[in-house]
Structure 1
Amino acid sequence: MSTAAATVPIAGRTSASTPGIVIPEGHTLHTENNSHILISSKDEAFLNPVQEFNRDLSVACIRIWSEEINREKEAKWKQGQERRAKRATTDVAEGKEAKKVEVDNASGSSLSVAQAEGHDMEKSSTLQTPEGLTRNIEYRPYKFVLLEALSATGLRSIRYAKEIPLVRFVVANDLSESAIAAMRRNVDLNGLGPSPETGEGKVRVNEGDACALMYNHRTEKSRVDVVDLDPYGTAAPFLDAAVQAVNDGGLLCVTCTDLAVLATTNYFEKCFSNYGGVPVKAEYCHEAALRLVLNTISTSASRYGRYIEPLLALSVDFYVRLFVRVHSGAVEVKKAASNTSMYYICSGCQSFFEQKLGRTIEKVNEKTGARSYQFKTQVGPPVPSECSDCGFPLHVSGPMWAGPLHNPEFVSKVLEHVEGNLDKYGTSARMRGMLTVAKEELHTPFYFTPARVAGFFHCTTPSLEEVASALLNSGSDVSRSHACPGSLKTTASRTDIYDVFRCWVKKHPVKMDKISNTSPAARLLAKEPRTEANFTKHPKSVTQSSKVKLVRYQQNPLPNWGPGSKASGIKRKRNGEDNE
Structure 2
Amino acid sequence: MRLVEIKEGKARIFIPDPKEYEKNGKFDPSWAPVFYNPRMMFNRDISVIAVSIISPKSIIDALAASGIRGIRYYLESNSPIEEIIFNDKSKVAVDLISKNVEANGVKVAKITNRDANSLLYEVITDYVDIDPFGSPSPFILSSVNAVKNGGYIAYTATDLAPLEGSAKKSCKRKYDVNNSKLSFSKEVGLRVLLSKIVREAAILEKAVEPIFAFYNDYYYRVIIRVTRGAKRADESIEKLGYFYECEKCGFSGSSKDPIEKCPRCGNKVKISGPVWLGKINDDSFVHKMIDYLQNFSYIKNFEAVSILLHKILQENKYPPGYYNLEFIASKYKINVPAREKIIECLGDASQTHFSSKGIKTSKSFDEILECMKTLSNKV
Q: Is TM-score (shorter-chain normalized) higher than 0.5?
A: yes
Q: Report deviation, 1:282.
A: 2.4
Q: Report deviation, 1:386.
A: 3.7
Q: Match of 1:151?
A: 64
Q: Match of 1:224?
A: 125
What one-letter code is carried by the residue in structure 1 that aligns with 2:59?
Answer: L
Residues 19-38 of structure 1, C-alpha deviation per residue, up to 9 Å, x if partnerless?
xxxxxx82211111221111
- Kept after mapping to 2: 8 A contact 1:295/1:401: yes
Q: Match of 2:153?
A: 252
What one-letter code is carried by the residue in structure 2 that aligns with 1:457?
Answer: Y
Match of 2:52 among 63, 66, 69: 63
Match of 1:464 among 295, 316, 339: 339
Q: Match of 1:318?
A: 218
1:482 aligns with 2:357: no
- Kept after mapping to 1: 8 A contact 2:243/2:255: yes
What one-letter code is carried by the residue in structure 1 that aligns with 2:275?
Answer: M
- Kept after mapping to 2: 8 A contact 1:450/1:463: no
Cα distance in 2 between the residues matched to 1:337 and 1:426: 39
1:437 aligns with 2:300: no
Cα distance in 1 between the residues matched to 2:232 and 2:313: 24
Q: Report deviation, 1:337.
A: 3.3
What one-letter code is carried by the residue in structure 1 that aligns with 2:343?
Answer: A
Cα distance in 2 between the residues matched to 1:50 and 1:501: 36
Cα distance in 2 between the residues matched to 1:349 and 1:206: 55
1:285 aligns with 2:185: yes
Partner of 2:358, secondary structure, is: coil
Q: Match of 1:493?
A: 364
Q: Match of 1:557?
A: none
Cα distance in 1 between the residues matched to 2:340 and 2:100: 50
Residues 426-451 of structure 1, C-alpha deviation per residue, up to 9 Å, x if partnerless?
21111101111011113411112433
- Kept after mapping to 2: 8 A contact 1:403/1:443: no
- Kept after mapping to 2: 8 A contact 1:35/1:159: yes
1:188 aligns with 2:188: no
Q: Report deviation, 1:503.
A: 4.8
Match of 1:448 among 323, 333, 338: 323
Q: Match of 1:212?
A: 118
Partner of 1:277, secondary structure, is: coil
Range that drifts further, 331-340 or 401-410: 331-340
Q: Report deviation, 1:499.
A: 3.7
Q: Match of 1:162?
A: 75
The alignment covers a number of residue pairs equal to: 364
- Kept after mapping to 2: 8 A contact 1:229/1:254: yes
1:412 aligns with 2:287: yes
Partner of 2:15, secondary structure, is: strand
Q: Match of 1:331?
A: 231
Cα distance in 1 between the residues matched to 2:352 and 2:179: 19
Q: Report deviation, 1:338.
A: 2.4
Cα distance in 2 between the residues matched to 1:150 and 1:226: 14
1:39 aligns with 2:15: yes
1:50 aligns with 2:39: yes
Q: Report deviation, 1:391.
A: 5.3
Q: CA RMSD in A?
A: 2.0
Q: Match of 1:397?
A: 272
Partner of 1:320, secondary structure, is: strand
What one-letter code is carried by the residue in structure 2 that aligns with 1:465?
Answer: E
Q: Report deviation, 1:305.
A: 1.5
The structure-2 alpha-carbon separation of the partners of 1:504 and 1:26, relative to structure 1 and needing over 3 Å to count, comes to closer
Cα distance in 2 between the residues matched to 1:234 and 1:341: 22
1:276 aligns with 2:176: yes
Cα distance in 1 between the residues matched to 2:378 and 2:300: 46
- Kept after mapping to 2: 8 A contact 1:337/1:356: no
Task: Give the structure-2-normalised TM-score.
Answer: 0.90
Cα distance in 2 between the residues matched to 1:437 and 1:177: 41
What one-letter code is carried by the residue in structure 2 that aligns with 1:156?
Answer: R
Q: Match of 1:85?
A: none
Residues 346-372 of structure 1, C-alpha deviation per residue, up to 9 Å, x if partnerless?
223442232215xxxxxxxxxxxxxxx
Partner of 1:279, secondary structure, is: coil
Q: Match of 1:28?
A: 4
Cα distance in 1 between the residues matched to 2:339 and 2:323: 11
Cα distance in 1 between the residues matched to 2:378 and 2:11: 57
What one-letter code is carried by the residue in structure 2 that aligns with 1:245?
Answer: A
Partner of 1:335, secondary structure, is: helix
Q: Report deviation, 1:156.
A: 0.9
Cα distance in 2 between the residues matched to 1:309 and 1:464: 31
Q: Match of 2:254?
A: 354
Cα distance in 2 between the residues matched to 1:356 and 1:391: 19
- Kept after mapping to 2: 8 A contact 1:404/1:443: no
Which protein has greater RCO, CA pairs closer than 8 Å, 6+ apart?
A: 1
Cα distance in 2 between the residues matched to 1:39 and 1:421: 24
Residues 279-330 of structure 1, C-alpha deviation per residue, up to 9 Å, x if partnerless?
3312310100000011111111111121111111101110000011111133
Q: Report deviation, 1:463.
A: 2.6
1:296 aligns with 2:296: no
Cα distance in 2 between the residues matched to 1:502 and 1:485: 19
Match of 1:243 among 137, 144, 155: 144
Partner of 1:186, secondary structure, is: helix
User: Kindly, what percent of the aligned residue pairs are identical?
Assistant: 29
* Bigger Cα Rg: 1
- Kept after mapping to 1: 8 A contact 2:129/2:154: yes
The structure-2 alpha-carbon separation of the partners of 1:349 and 1:230, relative to structure 1 and needing over 3 Å to count, comes to farther
Q: Match of 1:528?
A: none
What one-letter code is carried by the residue in structure 2 that aligns with 1:161?
Answer: Y
The structure-2 alpha-carbon separation of the partners of 1:502 and 1:460, relative to structure 1 and needing over 3 Å to count, comes to closer
Cα distance in 2 between the residues matched to 1:393 and 1:34: 54
Residues 147-201 of structure 1, C-alpha deviation per residue, up to 9 Å, x if partnerless?
0110011111111111122222210000011111111111112122xxxxxxxx4
Q: Report deviation, 1:235.
A: 0.3
Q: Report deviation, 1:502.
A: 4.8
What one-letter code is carried by the residue in structure 2 that aligns with 1:278?
Answer: N
1:422 aligns with 2:297: yes
Task: Give the structure-1-normalised TM-score.
Answer: 0.60
Q: Report deviation, 1:241.
A: 0.5
- Kept after mapping to 1: 8 A contact 2:11/2:72: yes
Partner of 1:311, secondary structure, is: strand
For structure 1, the residue ranges without an aligned partner over 5 or more in a row are: 1-24, 67-142, 193-200, 218-222, 358-380, 510-580
- Kept after mapping to 1: 8 A contact 2:208/2:236: no
